[in-house]
Amino acid sequence: MNLNDEERAILAGEAGPIAKLCLEHQIAVGDFFGAEDFVPVTQAHIMADTESLGQAGVMWLEKLAKTEGGQRRVRIPTITDPRGTDFAKAGQLRQTEWMVALERRAVDAFTALGVSMTDTCINYQTIQAPTRGEHVAFGDTGVVIYSNAICGARSNFEGGPSALAAGMTGRTPRYGFHLDAQRQATLRIRTDFTPRTLNDWGALGGVVGRLAGNYWSVPVVEGLEGAPGSDAMKHFGAAMASFGSIALFHLVGITPEAQRLQDVGGDKLPVAHRVGQAEVQALQQAYAVDKDIDVVVFSAPQLSLYELRDLAALCEGQRFVRPLLAVTSPQVKPDADRLGFTQRIEAAGGSVLSGMCFYQSYAREIAEANGWKRLATNSAKLVNILGGYGYVPMLASMERCVEAARTGRIE
């Protein structure tokens, strides 16, 4: 890779051993992907849950945090993805002491490195959404696809060490979705179905993700009516990234880089697939394998204030016979408390959790501890993931999920 004077100084150790180690890692990543040089980035976002990090990852962070000499803290705003637990409610989930202790060790190490423990996968809704053309180094797949597609920012999927390295050096290898050429459409899809509910938006995203099928594919979708809201796009993109590893999509006339089909080269592509309501329903029906449920979970992505508002309205006057978990960010939770949403959800027997993500919370272990297997959710991303954790997940609307918590069955 071509290095500038500052980068050569970092590599020579002039900024200290941590920055040197981080740049060496980034050079290895850049060489692997054929990057010619680095691009400055303004923000970084790190996958920070200990289920992903493991004991070894936490020990590595602790070693970095204790390293003496030179720059020891991040040089650009660097935030974190959800943790694996809500410390205030770990006992309620029957998470063990070692899980909580490992989380606290990770928090201490990240904090020592100057990382802001935001614990959120919806930073684009709550902290500081990136702007069009802004180069960032983001980790969570749902964060990356939303930032790339809806905000028009530029990021690859950054692994945990790479995102932390970007925070320490203020740059990332210039390859992939940092390049104009990689952001052109590679697959043209036409739909005659515009979803209305979040589960339908997620299911449509899942269908598109499966059709696109690989990280370097960039689908452009035409035919949607009107501009979807932020929560709809959140579920649409998160599911597309989950089902297809997609990092960028375009919606003609909606997303900023595709005001016209020709803006992203879509006019040069044949319509490869036509997608309608039948395909969206088929994906959802594939997860409608049982009627009885053990737990209802709203998570992945974390819920916005508006989602919690809608959930609270549905919980009014209800009494649940099954656990209902609603997971949000530490930025949203205080407002949900202040506006009474938390109280209404929990008065019905639900629980509002903060700063965590359900599938990153030792989901297999808590399923065994609580006797959970059959799970209902309105998140297409979550149903795609949880089968690997031993669950039988079912995808339905928020209304049907709340009713399932009340009756123990999903109809």
Q: 224-236, pLDDT tens digit by residue?
A: 998 899 999 999 9
Please name the fold of domain 5-178: Aconitase; domain 3 (3.30.499)
At residue 288, the pLDDT reads 84
- The upper half-sphere exposure of residue 310, i.e. CA atoms within 13 Å in the direction of its Cβ, equals 14
Peptide bond into 301 cis (omega under 30): yes
To the nearest whole percent, how much of the chain has pLDDT over 70? 100
Domain with CATH 3.30.499.10 in the chain: 5-178, 287-407
Q: What is the band of 201 on the pLDDT scale with cuts at 50, 70, 90?
A: very high
Burial of 12 (0-12, 13-18, 19+ CB in 10 A): exposed
pLDDT tens readout for residues 52-79: 899 999 999 999 999 999 999 999 999 9
At residue 176, the pLDDT reads 98
At residue 52, the pLDDT reads 85
pLDDT at 29 over 90: yes
pLDDT at 340 over 90: yes
The mean per-residue pLDDT over the stretch 115-128 comes to 97
Sheet harboring 250-251: ordered strands across?
Answer: 250-251, 219-222, 187-191, 271-275
Architecture of the domain delimited by 287-407 = 2-Layer Sandwich (3.30)
Query: How far, in Å, CA of 148 to CA of 341, rounded?
Result: 31
pLDDT at 88 over 80: yes
